[in-house]
Amino acid sequence: MLKVGGKITYSTCSLNPIENESVVAAALKEFKGQIRLLKTELPGFRHQEGLKEWKFLNFEGKKKENESDSFFTEYHNYEEVPTQMKHITQTMFMSHYPAEILAELSKCVRVMPHHQNTSGFFITVIEKIAECPGDEPILA
């Protein structure tokens, strides 16, 4: 869909790393050598870099017995996920990616709600640098 040298912006109005950094990391892994991230700039906006590490927290509706309890269960890796929850995939875990892919995520941008009195946003720019297997030439 994108010509070599073409750029596409991936953006969400979410700050969930499962919808953001893990999606971008999965694309970088799947299309290694065919795409790259460009450093995203937002002049005039306060922002922070993309996350290079994150926790996988799953809301399971647990009751809190005391104030220190959480409504969430944390899974450290895919192997900890119960069989009945296999809609959760390996690509959602930072442990699925090598360090060089995780380091690239700092080129992404997170706009935090408290920085501009806005909603939260995730933004990154991806450039296609080589043809991908199965790419069909576009006929004019």
Give the whole-angstrom CA distance, residue 120 versus residue 16.
10
Examine the residue annotation and report whether 132 is marked as an active-site residue of this protein: no
Do residues 60 and 78 lie in contact, with contact meaning Cβ atoms separated by under 8 Å?
Answer: no
Residues with Cβ within 8 Å of 5's Cβ and at least 6 positions away in sequence, in order, are 127, 128, 129
Biggest CA-to-CA distance, the chain = 65
Shortest CA distance to 126 belongs to which of 18, 32, 14? 32
Q: Which two tokens stand for residue 7?
A: 């750029």
Annotated active-site residue in 13, 38, 103, 129: 13
Measure the CA–CA gap between 37 and 18, rounded to whole angstroms.
18
Would you name the residues annotated as active-site residues? 13
